[in-house]
Structure 1
Amino acid sequence: MSEKQRSEMEEDARSFLEKFVEEFPAPLEEGNPMPVSPLSQRVSLEELPGESLELGLRLLAARGAPPGLCALLCHAALGQLLKSDLSPFHCPQAEAAQEEEEEEEENTPLLRSEPVQRLFLNLLMDVASAWHREPPGPPPPAAGPPHCSVHAIRNTRRKMEDRHLALGHFNQLFGLQDGVERAYYGVFDGHGGVDAAVYCATHLHVALSKQDALQSDPSEAFKAAFTHTDRMFRAKAKRERLRSGSTGVAVLIQGQELTVAWLGDSQALLVRRGQVVTLMSPHKPEREDEKQRIEDLGGCVTFMGCWRVNGTYAVSRAIGDFDQKPYVSSDADCGSVQLRGGEDYVLLACDGFFDAVSPSEVPGLVQDALRQTLDPEGGGGGAAADHWDGGVGQGVAERLVGHAKTAGSSDNITVMLVFLGPPQQLLTPLPAPEAGPAPQESFF
């Protein structure tokens, strides 16, 4: 990071803190509306970090806070919250007893979410006020997170059940200081309701951050995090009588290693020098090994408009869907690949995109979208290429989503592009395709 970039970051942080302190000069008092609403009415101690961080990031992002500052503020406020006496926020004894009777596996007390999150937001505002008066030391030098372009639409479906999370400042959010830069990205495609997808987007990255194997074996860390998130959601689903499920694909960029983990048919692919690198094979009931696994457990895979597990779900692995466990498995598959410096980007998307777009089409579509957003007049990049921002970046994923819709997708569509180098470098012409199917690499 150059001195100019560091100076600009510090000025952006000072400017934001000044405006934030002006907007919230006094604590949020009980009885007054909160600026953002908590996700839940009741929250377990285990769920508190994820829900608090989600609330804080949502509040700060809505006010244009620099992403790195968002992460640092939320981490500091959560640390203070977890050191606080939370006993005043426990659910009333009668309600707690009823919850314990309904949920045998959940022995920890439940907290009333609104008052405990009000405390968290007040702590967040206290930290912001303190940093405004006396800024903390400068952040350590860092290359900065990758540029990310995201777009999501409900499309023709009645409800939007996709959720996503782009977390370029993973270390700052969780206070990790081991010298390894990390960024996390996830796309979650809910079915039967949005609850499971929201839960994954709120808690999976938190569970991942707590895994001892995070640095030494990120694949094992991801597998454990998916299993833990499914166990946590089981308790909530039983407590609140929820029946939804969610597929998911998540990527962790850790130093020069990219790890992908997935459940179900959401997908991620890597593009290196214009060529697709296959990172994964989606879990579908008709996939031979998945069909065999389900049948070995005593289930069946039947065709009812599409292939379904026991005549119900069209996915064979997911968070939730507890009425069909273990046939619908929560065991994630994972894989890692070393980044060699020639990688263009990694794309994550739900099946609403890949049902209408083949992986081999992606490089051409991305380059066309980049050309339209970064080089709209064909001038070799120009000012737009030198001033990447959220508006320009948004256009790339938005055009891919639009193409999938035009190509016939009627499902919810979410597309996330994580650029692993300067996007404007991708405007050079792609190599001419050879006859036959487009070549694809794979690390399988």
Structure 2
Amino acid sequence: MEEEEEARCFLGRFVEDFPAALEEDSPLPVNPLSRKVSQEELLGESLELGLRLLAARDAPAGLSAVLCQAALSQLLQNDLSPFHCLQEAEADHKEEQKVVLLEAVAVQRLFLNKLINVALAWHQNFPKLPPAPSRFLRCSVHAIKNTRRKMEDKHVALAEFNQLFGIQDGVERAYYAVFDGHGGVDAATYAATHLHVALSKQEALQSDASTAFKTAFKHTDDMFRGKAKRERLRSGTTGVTVLIQGQEMTVAWLGDSQALLVRKGQAVTLMDPHKPDREDEKQRIEDLGGCITFMGCWRVNGTYAVSRAIGRSITSNKNKEHQICMESLFSLPLTLE
């Protein structure tokens, strides 16, 4: 009842700020991540936009998740063709492709209006919400950019994974991730926005979380490569992700981002980060036609200080170089006590 009262109080405050839908020419209360999005990217970017808006107003996390999920479900029932703009992607070696993009500001105004309308309806007639997680997972976050001009890293802490995606299979889930960007923040932001969305769609999520993670990582990389071609982006990111699913925790990583588990005061090794000087990584890269050289630090093909990553700064126009860095990722399931 305390959670319901907190949710009701927030809705009362929210509808005071947004008593009606946004006007067509009014500015958005939060800025979209992109100017144009593909229809597949719309899911992650809309959820990110909604969660950011609600978090700025101190919404309860569980309510934020279900509000965004309800608004997105309504958005996807709309005819989005009025927001289409055709843009020709760069031609690959075989054929030219046309990518259907959406004008982000216009379509996200529609999404935010769906969110406002859901909040108005729930304020008038509060629904029965999906059950909150039965256990409380405490999470603290600290981030520093060190000597870089801008922060290039991103993190995600999502204890309401099921509520955000409308999953009702009886298995509680929480998702956490850190993405270490390089050459800019675009790849890290993209992975933080879309990887958990891709993961939620995997049929193997409950039965084989490792396979689900591998597919989600590769799919997110493919999506970002498309965006990088369209917008001439050159950034990349390593990443480490954790999915707590019932009593099992799965850790998946790409590159040299790391996670550490402390159990009853003792450190438990979860992973061996991918680095160019790791013997098996060196052998794998050489077998694929690459090389490892020392130039102040160990580098792939004399350029990259990480051996695996999402994004364009770890790739070139050569498919083989991309294969070197995305050939596979490792994941480790661990039973919680």
Interval of TM-score (by shorter of Structure 1 and Structure 2): over 0.9
Q: Counterpart of 1:331?
A: 328
User: After alignment, is 320-329 or 173-182 more displaced?
Assistant: 320-329
Distance 1:106 1:185, change over 3 A: farther
- Return the match for 2:268 from 265, 273, 277: 277
Aligned length: 329
- Return the match for 1:140 from 120, 131, 139: 131
Deviations 1:111-143 (A, max 9, x none): 111100000000000001101000001443631
- Return the match for 2:61 from 55, 58, 67: 67
Q: Is the Cα contact below 8 Å between 1:45 and 1:108 reproduced in 2?
A: no
SS in 2 for 1:152: coil
> CA offset at residue 307 of structure 1?
0.5
Q: Distance in 1 between the 2:327 and 2:98 partners?
A: 23
> CA offset at residue 326 of structure 1?
2.2
Q: Distance in 1 between the 2:133 and 2:53 partners?
A: 25
> CA offset at residue 21 of structure 1?
0.4
Superposition misfits of 4+ residues, deviation over 4 angstroms: 101-108
Root-mean-square deviation over aligned CA pairs: 1.4
Deviations 1:49-92 (A, max 9, x none): 0000000000000100000001000000000011101000001x
1:82 corresponds to 2:76? yes
User: After alignment, is 103-112 or 80-89 more displaced?
Assistant: 103-112
Distance 1:216 1:105, change over 3 A: farther
Deviations 1:182-241 (A, max 9, x none): 000000000011110000000000000000000000010000000000000110000111
1:254 corresponds to 2:236? no
User: After alignment, is 98-107 or 234-243 more displaced?
Assistant: 98-107
What is the letter of the counterpart of residue 197 of structure 1?
Answer: A
Q: Is the Cα contact below 8 Å between 2:204 and 2:212 reproduced in 1?
A: yes
Q: Counterpart of 1:51?
A: 45
Q: Is the Cα contact below 8 Å between 1:234 and 1:322 reproduced in 2?
A: no
Q: Distance in 1 between the 2:153 and 2:315 partners?
A: 19
Q: Counterpart of 1:99?
A: 88
What does residue range 169-208 of structure 1 map to in structure 2 within 5 Å?
A: 169-208=160-199
SS in 2 for 1:153: coil
- Return the match for 1:309 from 295, 300, 304: 300
User: RCO (CA 8 Å, sep 6+): is it higher in 1 or 2?
Assistant: 1
What is the letter of the counterpart of residue 71 of structure 1?
Answer: A
Distance 1:290 1:168, change over 3 A: same
1:289 corresponds to 2:286? no
What is the letter of the counterpart of residue 25 of structure 2?
Answer: G
Identity over aligned residues, as a percent? 71
TM norm structure 2: 0.95
Q: Counterpart of 1:37?
A: 31
What does residue range 210-249 of structure 1 map to in structure 2 within 5 Å?
A: 210-249=201-240
What is the letter of the counterpart of residue 322 of structure 1?
Answer: T
Distance 1:336 1:30, change over 3 A: same
TM norm structure 1: 0.72
What is the letter of the counterpart of residue 84 of structure 1?
Answer: N
What is the letter of the counterpart of residue 8 of structure 1?
Answer: E
Distance 1:102 1:29, change over 3 A: farther
What is the letter of the counterpart of residue 311 of structure 1?
Answer: G
